[in-house]
Amino acid sequence: MHTYRLKQRQGEDNKIQETLKRNGNIPIHIAAIMDGNGRWAKKRGLPRIAGHKEGVESVRDIVEACGQLGIKYLTLYAFSTENWKRPKYEVSMLMRLLMRALRDETEKLLKKNVRVQAIGDIGTLPNQVQEELFYAIEKTKSNTGLVLILALSYSGRWEITNAIKLISSAVKHGELEPENISDRTVEQYLSTKGIPDPDLLIRTSGEFRISNFLLWQLAYSEIHISEILWPDFRRKQLYEVIADFQKRERRFGLVSEQLTSSK
Ligand code: FPP
Whether 1 has a pLDDT exceeding 90, the answer reads: no
Who has greater pLDDT, 122 or 250? 122
Determine which of 76-90, 206-220, 240-254 has the lowest per-residue pLDDT on average. Answer: 240-254
Domain count, the chain: 1
Residue 16 in domain: no
The per-residue DSSP string of 115-179 comes to EEEEES-GGGS-HHHHHHHHHHHHHTTT--S-EEEEEEEE-HHHHHHHHHHHHHHHHHTTSS-GG
Tell me the pLDDT band of 145, cut-offs 50, 70 and 90: very high
Tell me the pLDDT band of 46, cut-offs 50, 70 and 90: very high
- Please indicate whether residue 37 is annotated as part of the active site: no
Residue 71 in domain: yes
**Best probe residue, ligand 1, of 37, 54, 94 (max atoms within 8 Å of C-beta):** 37
Residue 204 in domain: yes
The CATH number of the domain holding residue 64 is 3.40.1180.10
Residue 20 in domain: no
The per-residue DSSP string of 178-193 comes to GGG--HHHHHHTSTTT
Residue 156 in domain: yes
Task: For the full predicted model, state whether its pTM sits above 0.85.
Answer: yes
Give the dihedral of Cα atoms 50, 109, 29, 72; nearest 10 deg.
-160
- Please indicate whether residue 83 is annotated as part of the active site: yes
pLDDT averaged over every residue in the chain: 95
Which domain does 156 fall in, by range?
25-248
Task: State the Cα angle at 203 between 83 and 26, rounded to 5°.
Answer: 130
Tell me the pLDDT band of 260, cut-offs 50, 70 and 90: confident
How far is it, in rounded angstroms, from Cα 228 to Cα 245?
17
Task: State the Cα angle at 63 between 57 and 66, rounded to 5°.
Answer: 140
Tell me the pLDDT band of 110, cut-offs 50, 70 and 90: very high
Residue 215 in domain: yes
* Ligand 1 contact via 36 beta carbon (within 6 Å): yes
